[in-house]
Amino acid sequence: MSDAGPVRRPLVMGILNVTPDSFSDGGEHATTEAAVEHGRRLVAQGADLVDVGGESTRPGAARVDEAEELRRVVPVVEALAAEGIKVSIDTTRARVARACVGVGAGIVNDVSGGLADPVMPGTVASLDVPFVVMHWRAHSATMQNLAEYDDVVTDVLAELDGRVRALVGAGVDPARLVLDPGIGFSKTAEHNWQLLAALDRFVATGSRVLVGASRKRFLGSVGRPVDPATGEVAPHDLRPVDARDVATAVVSAASMRAGAWAVRVHDVPATVDAFDVTQALLTASGAR
């Protein structure tokens, strides 16, 4: 690592789901007041920015209508931004993105990379804010049916490159783009591990890279018994969602060493600790 220069500490993006059905914390912050309070808590714990989302993207989730998504997120984004908190809006809809940037959001985080709403590329170009382009193949209800690749790393890089070219062609400043390999979206557990092991290839594109692995199912299977009949961990043997934060922090540390720009996490203190430990080790080894 020392030959590549100093290792930068990634930003910590705290997850704030204003939803009743997210896989980890659905319903916990469903009112504006509760959501704003949790956003403040994430920042107090060390988050650099808060990612506000009003529609669950867990596997199998149904879509929420646009009016409801706007009702959920706009007041939260506005309140947090008014307090000087840096906010990103997690949405696939151009109208939601525009409304939230209008009240203070500084980043648009689109899990579809601009594919779900044909108006999104032009909207982001006009808003002139950073845009997270995640690798995506379909909405949550059907995405796991498309988890097939010749080589997952090569294929995801190629598909993201296609999105970057399309977005730049629509007028988006390439310097505003952030790549996200889409951990857990149309991916098996093995695909997720392969992508994490190859994060340096995403960083090598020259774009900033966001990693969102927090509490996902594949982390719940680590160290758990595999059913010999299926080759997978049975649902009842998975680690509970709230018991995946140590595993998430380890991924955060690995992402830092690979050069990620930011990590998106539920449990901010564990990732902050992981970064502190990683920095101490790198400093001791001379890779400051």
Q: How far is 17 from 152, CA to CA, in rounded Å? A: 29
Closest CA to 102 of 121, 75, 120: 75
Q: How far is 175 from 34, CA to CA, in rounded Å? A: 35
Residue-wise DSSP of 176-243: GEEEE--TTSS--HHHHHHHHHTHHHHHTTSSEEEE--TT-HHHHTTTPPPBTTTTB--GGGSPPGGG
Closest CA to 196 of 176, 177, 216: 216
For 158, the token pair is 């190629």
Q: How far is 30 from 39, CA to CA, in rounded Å? A: 12
Question: Could you identify the residue written with the tokens 């995640």?
Answer: 134
Q: How far is 46 from 14, CA to CA, in rounded Å? A: 9
* Cα-based distances in Å from 46 to 27, 43, 183: 23, 5, 23
- Catalytic machinery residues: 216, 264
174, 124 in Cβ contact below 8 A?
Answer: no
For 197, the token pair is 């092991």
* Total residues found in the chain within this entry: 288
